């Protein structure tokens, strides 16, 4: 995460390094990147670093960075002509939300909207698992129905991802503005939510398997959109 932040445009105030890990090649590379970017470097004891870390497992390095104020969904839709939005309904596990934010960052998602009926905030676990994604992809806690209403007002197609509904995600045109709606770990999209979707796609799989982990399913769909966009260039 720290390495990714240093090689991006994220504003980092300072980097803290554990003195006991300074000989580690990975830590040396981070130190060199920090010096190159003129970022302040502080060297502290490993125990002190662990106390400062929310996760209690900083792996020898912590970056202090400023996360910009989260924009509203409407602000994003006003600014982005081809908005790429991800909606998450009832996420139970912080690890899954963190993994989804990591994939969303890599896929170029403009915002992740998470329903307040599940995990929807940046906790230490979510931030750590996101490996930097939490600093780059706005996470907006918002009702799915309010979000979808707004998306329709800005003419963004809403695509429900649900088992055995619609066509295969690889056979559906996902280019241009789009908002994917994903269900949670235990249940899929509720009937009221299904009624708000414009179309559905599914991920073909072995019939003996009920469903994929939500973070895995999300990554597959996001990168299929990326593949289609690249293929059309």
Prediction pTM value: 0.78
Overall average pLDDT of the 159-180 stretch: 96
Q: At residue 57, does pLDDT exceed 80?
A: no
More reliable by pLDDT, 186 or 230 = 230
Q: Can you give the pLDDT at residue 12?
A: 74
Q: Can you give the pLDDT at residue 165?
A: 94
Query: Token pair 């670093």 is at which residue?
Result: 49
End-to-end CA distance of the chain: 31
pLDDT digits (tens, 9 = 90+) for 94-146: 999 999 999 999 999 999 999 999 889 888 788 878 877 888 899 999 999 99
Q: Can you give the pLDDT at residue 147?
A: 98
Q: Which residue, among 191, 197, 94, 184, has the nearest Cα to 139 in the 3D structure? A: 94
Using pLDDT thresholds of 50, 70 and 90, give the confidence band for residue 79: very high
Q: Can you give the pLDDT at residue 209?
A: 79
The SS3 of residue 41 is: strand
- Specify the fold of 2-65: 60s Ribosomal Protein L30; Chain: A; (3.30.1330)
pLDDT digits (tens, 9 = 90+) for 191-227: 999 999 999 999 998 888 777 899 999 999 999 999 9
CA distance 181 to 178: 10
Domain ranges of the chain: 2-65, 73-231
The SS3 of residue 82 is: coil
Q: Can you give the pLDDT at residue 230?
A: 94
CA distance 86 to 8: 23
Q: Can you give the pLDDT at residue 104?
A: 97
More reliable by pLDDT, 127 or 156 = 156
Q: Can you give the pLDDT at residue 186?
A: 72
pLDDT digits (tens, 9 = 90+) for 15-49: 888 888 888 888 888 888 888 888 888 888 877 77
- Specify the fold of 73-231: Alpha/beta knot (3.40.1280)
Task: Take residue 116 and report the two structure tokens written for it.
Answer: 């307040």
Using pLDDT thresholds of 50, 70 and 90, give the confidence band for residue 1: low
Q: Can you give the pLDDT at residue 160?
A: 97
Q: Can you give the pLDDT at residue 17?
A: 86
């Amino acid at each position: 995460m720290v390495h990714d932040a240093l090689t991006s445009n994220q504003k980092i105030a300072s980097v803290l390094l554990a003195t006991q890990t300074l000989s580690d090649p990975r830590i040396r590379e981070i130190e060199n990147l920090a010096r190159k970017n003129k970022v302040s470097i502080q060297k502290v004891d490993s125990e002190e670093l662990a106390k400062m870390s929310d996760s209690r497992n900083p792996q020898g390095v912590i970056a202090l960075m400023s996360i910009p104020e989260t924009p509203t969904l409407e602000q994003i839709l006003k600014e982005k002509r081809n908005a790429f939005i991800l909606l998450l309904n009832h996420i139970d596990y912080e690890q899954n939300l963190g993994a989804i934010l990591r994939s969303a960052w890599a896929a170029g998602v403009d915002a992740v909207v998470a329903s307040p009926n599940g995990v929807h905030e940046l906790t230490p676990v979510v931030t750590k698992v996101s490996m930097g994604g939490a600093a780059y992809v706005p996470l907006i806690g918002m009702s799915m129905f309010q979000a979808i209403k707004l998306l329709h007002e800005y003419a963004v197609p809403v695509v429900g991802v649900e088992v055995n509904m619609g066509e295969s995600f690889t056979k559906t045109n996902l280019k241009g503005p789009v908002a994917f709606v994903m269900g949670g770990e235990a249940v899929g999209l509720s009937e009221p939510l299904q009624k708000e979707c414009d179309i559905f796609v599914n991920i073909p799989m072995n019939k003996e398997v009920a469903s994929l982990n939500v973070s895995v399913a999300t990554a597959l769909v996001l990168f299929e959109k990326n593949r289609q966009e690249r293929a059309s260039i």
